[in-house]
Amino acid sequence: MLLWGQVLSSLTGMLDLALVTRLNTKVGIPDYVFAVIDCGVSVMVGKLQWMPVLVLCSKLCPPGIEGTFYALLMSIQNVGLLMSAWWGGLLLHTLNVTRSEFTNLWAVVLIRNVSRLLPLMLLFLVPQSDQNSTLLPAEMLHDDESTEAVKDGSGSVEFSVLVADGSGCHPSVEDVQDERIKVTDDVGGDVELIPLMNTNRTVG
């Protein structure tokens, strides 16, 4: 799909070449109709190109960093769009294509369409697998050791909670005493009260 998606992208770019050279008028298709057809086909091919990329990224993403991985993918796409705009502007300037001069515009469109085939040289980097294959190592597909220890009950996790006796939403005039930390062992269920402070003060 990556191969044929890129080839289709190059071929659909030839529709722009037909529009620039006015071939559409020679076959009786008005410019606005041909422009709508060109835009619709280009968008459809673009979606077909994105589908295998997103499936591949979902297979390469380790558990727990899906948001970061997707942000990285969008960043790479934005950098690619920015670089394509810069190279396109440089190509237009080199071939002397301006807002009033379109003599060499057909050559610019042709170079753009041919350049879309250049990423095929990097296609060997894509793993030879299908959408049901597992690409990540087995150890990356499981939770870390600490999480597994808690699930098995072999680890010891303690939670510290500040507890103040006699406190409530509305303070009273009673003395608040014996503030302490309640430490709960999540595995054994033992509860230990450790004195934090023992001061007499009047709340009010």
Measured CA angle at 98 (ends 94, 99), to 5 deg: 160
What is the pLDDT, as a whole number, of residue 89? 93
Quote the tokens at residue 34.
């041909």
Q: How many domains does the chain have?
A: 2
Per the domain annotation, does 123 fall within a domain?
yes
The reply to whether 14 and 51 lie within a common domain is yes
CA distance 66 to 54: 12
Domain stops at, among 20, 43, 60: 60
Contact 84, 48 (CB under 8 A): no
Q: Does residue 70 surpass a pLDDT of 70?
A: yes
Q: What does the pLDDT average to over 12-21?
A: 91
Per the domain annotation, does 18 fall within a domain?
yes
Q: Which of 97, 111, 109 is nearest to 22 (CA)?
A: 109
Whole-prediction pTM = 0.59
What is the pLDDT, as a whole number, of residue 93? 93
CA distance 144 to 127: 26
Per the domain annotation, does 156 fall within a domain?
no
Per the domain annotation, does 173 fall within a domain?
no
Per the domain annotation, does 203 fall within a domain?
no
CA distance 120 to 73: 19
Per the domain annotation, does 186 fall within a domain?
no
The reply to whether 54 and 80 lie within a common domain is no
Strand duo 158-163 + 191-197: pairing: unpaired
Per the domain annotation, does 84 fall within a domain?
yes
The reply to whether 56 and 100 lie within a common domain is no
Q: Is 199 helix (H, G, I), strand (E, B) or coil?
A: coil
Q: State the residue range of the domain holding 37.
A: 1-60
pLDDT digits (tens, 9 = 90+) for 184-204: 444 455 545 455 444 455 444
pLDDT digits (tens, 9 = 90+) for 111-152: 999 999 999 999 888 877 766 777 777 666 665 444 444 445
